[in-house]
Amino acid sequence: MTDWRKLLEMFETTTHISRRTVAMTLTAALTILLTAVPMPAAHADGQHAQHDHHAASDGIGEPGDAARVTRTIDVDMHDAMRFTPATITVKRGETIRFNVKNSGRVRHEMMLGTVSALREHAEMMRKMPQMEHAEPNAVTVDPGKRGEFVWHFTQAGEVPFACLEPGHFEAGMVGTIRVRADAGSIGGG
């Protein structure tokens, strides 16, 4: 409450409004703020505003053969709930080794999947937060560690990926792999 009082005093010295008015205004603002704070646990899936973009292809590719890796791509995961890079470009037919680093202080993971599959999985993770993924399209990485998985991109299009640690997907820890059909230049962007 000290901060609140300090704020009030600051407010008072810079305005000519009475203390009572200021207090009332601040209380009203605080009430609005408190009621506006979302309750994460109360969010039913149906309340999410976004819609699934059922991609033209549900085919995100297939587990890759480590002996046929054409390229290694480094991905960093951090507690700002972001992947770096968040957009990756590959060519159709490439077998990529994802070298995934967790530079945060909490566990993160990288999982490839359609948006609907990722969302379903995120829902499951909320119910079973300790669940670890042993699937070939994902890697779970402890803080300060590295992990990897190998994936073969068989179709042109976009392959979404996300971190499904509870709350991370919702916080925007998502990315996209653009799979190009042509043999043109591969951008880093």
Minimum Å distance from CB 99 to Cu ion?
Answer: 17
Residue 51: burial class (beta carbons within 10 Å; 0-12, 13-18, 19+): exposed
Cβ 171 to Cu ion shortest distance, Å: 8
CA dist., res. 157 & res. 53, Å (int) = 13
Which of the stretches 20-28, 35-43, 62-70, 155-163 binds Cu ion when contact is defined by CB under 5 A? 155-163
* Closest to Cu ion by CB, 94 or 165: 165
Choose the stretch contacting Cu ion; rule: CB under 5 A; options: 13-21, 126-134, 156-164, 178-186.
156-164
39 phi, psi to nearest 5 deg: -100, 105
- Fill in the per-residue mask, 83 to 122: x = in contact with Cu ion (CB under 5 A), - = not in contact: -------------------------x--------------
CB nearest Cu ion: which residue?
163
The yes or no reply on residue 163 touching Cu ion (CB under 5 A) is yes
Type of residue at 9 = E
Calculate the alpha carbon distances from 60 to 7, 55, 117, 125, 145 in Å.
53, 10, 11, 21, 26
Closer to Cu ion by Cβ: residue 173 or 179: 173
Using rule CB under 5 A, residue 168 touches Cu ion: yes
CA–CA gap between residue 145 and residue 122 (Å, rounded): 22
The one-letter code for the residue type at 67 is: A
Residues forming the site for Cu ion (CB under 5 A): 108, 163, 165, 168, 173
